[in-house]
Amino acid sequence: MDKKKGKILVLDDEQIVLDSVSRILESENYEVKGCRRGEDAIETLREGGFDLLITDLKMPGMNGLEAMAALLEVDPDLSVIMLTAYATVDSAVQAMKMGAVDYCRKPFTPDQLTEIVEGAMNDRRARFEKRYREDTFAEIKKAISSTLNLKEVLDLIVQGVVKVMKVKGSTLSLLDKNRAKLRVFAHYGLSREYVDKGPLETSRSISDMTLNGKPVWIEDASTDPRVQYPAEAMREGIASILSVPLLVRNKVIGALRVYTSQPRIFTEDENEFLYGFAEQVAFAIENARSYEDVKDEYETLRDDLWDYFDKEGWA
C-alpha cells in the first residue's frame, strides 16, 4: 500500500473496541497502534511519529483524562480525540480545556469515526504548515539580514518564498529609474525563456495594480485579460499568479510574485504570510541597494583618481 495518511494511537480497555477502531482506520490507510492501559500507551507513544490519540474516558487504573495529560506531557503536539460511552458535560469541558480537538459519544458508525479523524488530521496539517512557514521565514530573515550583497538578498528571497509557500516558482522585479517598467532581478523555479519573455509595462496588466500598492490575484493565467503574456504562461505550465507589491515607507519599489502549477486559492494565512514577507524583505533590498550605491561611489571616485594620475603621468 502507498504512504500512510497518519499514525494513530488508540487507548481503550476493551479489546473489541481496539479491534474495531483499528479495522476501520486501517481500511482508510492509517497506521494504528492499540493499547489497553495508559502506562502502555505512554511507552508506545515514545516510539514517536504519532499524529493522533483516540482515547476512552472510563478505564480501570489511569482514566482517559489522566492518560491524556500524561501523553501530552510526552508529546505536546499530539492531537487528542476522546471517545466515551459515559459522556458528561463535566468531562467534555475538562477534556476540551486540556486541549482535546474533539469529544464524541460511543457507539459510532465507521463513517462518523472516519469523519472525526479526517477533521482532526486536517486541523493538524494546517497548524503544522503554519508553524513550518513561521520557522522557515525566521531562518530566511536571518540569512537575508546577514548580507548586504544585493544579488544574494534577492536570490534568498525568491528561493525562500518558493520553499515556504510550496509553489512552482517566484520572481522578484524592481522598478527602473523612471518607474515605468518592472524588470525581473531574480527568479526561481521558472525557465529562463519565460522570465525573459519581455518587460512588463506598468501601464498595463498586473503591474498597474501592484504599483498602486495593491496585491493582484490571478486564478487562471491562460484566460485572465490582465496577464500580458498568456501564451507564454501556458507553455510554462503556470495556472495561478499572485503578485504583491514591495513597499518601503509606503513607496513601491517592485513586486514579488508567486506562480503555481495548479489552480490554487491561497488561504488567508498564506496571503498574510506573503504580505508580511514582502514587507520584511523590501527593507533588506533597500539596504543592499544603499550599500551598493555607496560602494559604486567609492569605486568611481577611486577610478577617477587613478585615471587622473595616469593622464598626468604620475602613476
Partner 1 sequence: MSAGARPKATVLVIDDEQIVHESVRRILEEEGYRVEGAFRVEKALHLLSEGSFDLVLTDLMMPDRSGMDAVEAVARDHPDTGVVVFTGFATVNSAVQSLKLGALDYLPKPFTPQELLDVMERALEKTRKARRDKEIAKTYADAELAIRSSLDIQEILKLICDSVVRLFKAKGASILVLRKSDGVLEAVTSVGLSDEYLQKGVLDSRKSVAKGLVSKKPILVEEADFNTNLHYPEAARKEGIAAILSVPLQLGDAMLGFLRIYSGAKCSFDEEDMELLTRFADQGARALENAMSYEEVRKNIEGLKKAIPGPIARKMEE
247 binds partner 1 (CB under 8 A): no
Q: How far is the CB of 227 from partner 1 (least distance, A)?
A: 32
Q: Which residue has the cell 583618481?
A: 305
Of all helices (H) and strands (E), which one includes residue 297?
helix 268-312
Q: What is the DSSP string of 178-239?
A: TS-EEEEEEEESS-HHHHTT-PEETTSHHHHHHHTT--EEES-TTT-TT-S-HHHHHHHT--
The residue among 145 and 159 lying less far from partner 1, judged by its C-beta, is 145
85 binds partner 1 (CB under 8 A): no
Residue from 29, 88, 122, 267 touching partner 1 (CB under 8 A): that is 88
Contacts with partner 1 in 260-289 (CB under 8 A)? Answer: 279-280, 283-284, 286-287
The residue among 106 and 197 lying less far from partner 1, judged by its C-beta, is 106
* Exposed / middle / buried, residue 309 (Cβ in 10 Å: 0-12, 13-18, 19+): exposed
Residue from 36, 38, 52, 103 touching partner 1 (CB under 8 A): that is 103
Q: How far is the CB of 315 from partner 1 (least distance, A)?
A: 13
Question: Rounded CA gap, 54 and 119, in Å?
Answer: 13
Q: Which three cell numbers stand for residue 269?
A: 494565512
Q: Which residue has the cell 481500511?
A: 27
Residue from 97, 109, 111, 262 touching partner 1 (CB under 8 A): that is 97
The residue among 7 and 141 lying less far from partner 1, judged by its C-beta, is 141
CA angle 77–278–253, rounded 5-degree value: 175
304 binds partner 1 (CB under 8 A): yes
248 binds partner 1 (CB under 8 A): yes
The residue among 167 and 284 lying less far from partner 1, judged by its C-beta, is 284
| 33 Cβ neighbours under 8 A, 6+ residues apart | 7, 8, 9, 10, 44, 47, 50
Which of these ranges, 40-48, 70-78, 94-102, 225-233, lies near partner 1 under the rule CB under 8 A?
94-102
The residue among 180 and 305 lying less far from partner 1, judged by its C-beta, is 305
129 binds partner 1 (CB under 8 A): no
313 binds partner 1 (CB under 8 A): no
303 binds partner 1 (CB under 8 A): no
Examine residue 263 and say whether the peptide bond preceding it is cis (omega within 30 degrees of 0).
Answer: no
At 52, is the secondary structure helix, strand, or coil?
strand
Question: Rounded CA gap, 75 and 284, in Å?
Answer: 38
Binding site for partner 1 (CB under 8 A): 87-89, 92-93, 96-97, 101-103, 105, 142, 145-146, 148, 248, 279-280, 283-284, 286-287, 290-291, 294-295, 297-298, 301-302, 304-305, 308
